[in-house]
Amino acid sequence: MTSPEESNRGLVLVVDDDADIARFVALNLRLEGFEVVTAGDGYQALAHLARRRPDMVLLDVMMPMVDGVELTRQLRSDPMTASLPIILLTAKNLSADKIVGLTTGADDYIVKPFDTQELVARVHSVLRRHREIRELSPLTGLPGNARITREVTGWMRQGIEFALCYVDANHFKSVNDAYGFVRGDDFISTQASSLHRGVVGAGPPLAFLGHVGGDDFIILCVPEQVQAITQRAIMDFEERALALYDERDRERGYVEVTDRQGNPVRAGFVTLSIGVAISSHREFTDPREVVEVATEMKSVAKKHSGSFVAIDRRQTL
């Protein structure tokens, strides 16, 4: 029997023209806490997908009309299902058939008759890999918001004193306006790299670095590491970001853009504002409280010219 924490693992669509196998697979997945719907052929599967997108598809290869390989091709060609986890089921045990299935876009391949424990393990493994990939920023490869929240929650539950640094780039919009989003992505990648250098350079324990989105990042570290991480990251970023500007703009020290009224405006070079919340100063009970304080301090940092680190030193009353 599954615990409440293990239930609601997600929706799995099982597609097999053999009703007995479909029922057998569905039964075992339901025992693992999954919600399961079944389809007897490719057309029924597409009808299910049109109504509700599952978290995974278990798909028999040998089916009438639309077989598993062709259905996989269709799912991978549709933007709405292109990233859907797919495991192929087949009675064949030929390497060529495995290769066809995997090159078509399937994530895994299980040969019938299969062991129930192996099937369940592969389902969990594929879902875990996809969840980890979804949580990573496609631009920087860093963990996103869901993972950031879990990290903060974990540190709070363990009672570890920590500092949460909220990093934001100043004048970033001017880069996009002057050079376009491709150059803007170069600045964000450089920002991520500089923050990583700061984290690694501070030594153990290794701090956590996450990408909220755009030019916003989070660093979770012990309080004693804040100064070393932020100073190294700022110095590295300002040096490397300078090379991303056009030579003319580097020489004159600013980028010229237009405001909403079409008037020319001189924008300074991109710098970093960092707001820091420290758990030893306040009694936090929710990750959102930590982020709220760090965000408030980031606003304080933005009031200063150039790169600046603002640390919340207020005590809980």
Taking residue 229's Cβ as centre, other Cβ atoms within 10 Å add up to 26
Residue 126 vs residues 83, 129, 132, 250: alpha-carbon distances, Å: 12, 5, 10, 48
> Domain for residue 2, yes or no?
no
> Domain for residue 140, yes or no?
no
Same domain, 90 and 170: no
Domain count, the chain: 2
Q: Which of 79-83, 99-103, 192-196, 253-257 has the lowest mean pLDDT?
A: 99-103
Predicted local confidence at residue 185, as pLDDT: 96
Predicted local confidence at residue 96, as pLDDT: 62
Greater pLDDT, 314 or 27: 27
Mean pLDDT of 64-90: 88
State how far the Cα of 37 lies from the Cα of 236, in Å rounded to an integer: 53
Same domain, 128 and 187: no
Greater pLDDT, 146 or 296: 296
Q: Which of 35-44, 125-134, 144-153, 174-183 has the lowest mean pLDDT?
A: 125-134
Greater pLDDT, 113 or 249: 249
Same domain, 149 and 268: yes
Predicted local confidence at residue 230, as pLDDT: 97
pLDDT for 166 beyond 60: yes
Residue 286 vs residues 89, 127, 225: alpha-carbon distances, Å: 44, 28, 23
CATH of the domain at 95: 3.40.50.2300
Same domain, 152 and 122: no
Structure tokens that stand for 66 in this block? 């639309």
State how far the Cα of 305 lies from the Cα of 261, in Å rounded to an integer: 25
Predicted local confidence at residue 111, as pLDDT: 85
Predicted local confidence at residue 97, as pLDDT: 63
Same domain, 181 and 296: yes
Predicted local confidence at residue 5, as pLDDT: 39
Predicted local confidence at residue 3, as pLDDT: 38
pLDDT for 63 beyond 50: yes
pLDDT for 134 beyond 90: no
Same domain, 194 and 100: no
Q: Which of 51-65, 226-240, 297-311 has the lowest mean pLDDT?
A: 51-65
Predicted local confidence at residue 289, as pLDDT: 94
Q: For residue range 11-46, what is the model confidence (pLDDT) as tens digits?
A: 999 999 999 999 999 999 999 999 999 999 989 999
- For residue 116, give its domain range: 11-134
> Domain for residue 77, yes or no?
yes
Predicted local confidence at residue 149, as pLDDT: 92
pTM above 0.75, yes or no: no
Among the three residues 134, 169, 192, which one is the final residue of a domain in this structure? 134
Same domain, 160 and 212: yes
Average pLDDT, the chain: 89
Same domain, 154 and 53: no
> Domain for residue 288, yes or no?
yes
Predicted local confidence at residue 95, as pLDDT: 57
CATH of the domain at 240: 3.30.70.270
Same domain, 208 and 259: yes
Mean pLDDT of 186-201: 96
Same domain, 219 and 299: yes
Same domain, 119 and 161: no
The full 3-state SS of the chain, as one line of letters, equals CCCCCCCCCCEEEEECCCHHHHHHHHHHHHHCCCEEEEECCHHHHHHHHHHCCCCEEEEECCCCCCCHHHHHHHHHHCCCCCCCCEEEEECCCCHHHHHHHHHHCCCEEEECCCCHHHHHHHHHHHHHHHHHHHCECCCCCCECHHHHHHHHHHHHHHCCCCEEEEEEEECHHHHHHHHCHHHHHHHHHHHHHHHHHHHHHCCCCCCEEEEEECCEEEEEECHHHHHHHHHHHHHHHHHHHHCCCCHHHHHHCCEEEECCCCCEEEECCCEEEEEEEECCCCCCCCHHHHHHHHHHHHHHHHCCCCCEEEECCCCCC
User: Given pLDDT bands bounded at 50, 70 and 90, which one contains residue 217?
Assistant: very high
Same domain, 243 and 266: yes
The 10 Å CB-count burial string (b at 16+, else e) for 258-268 is eeeeeeeeebe
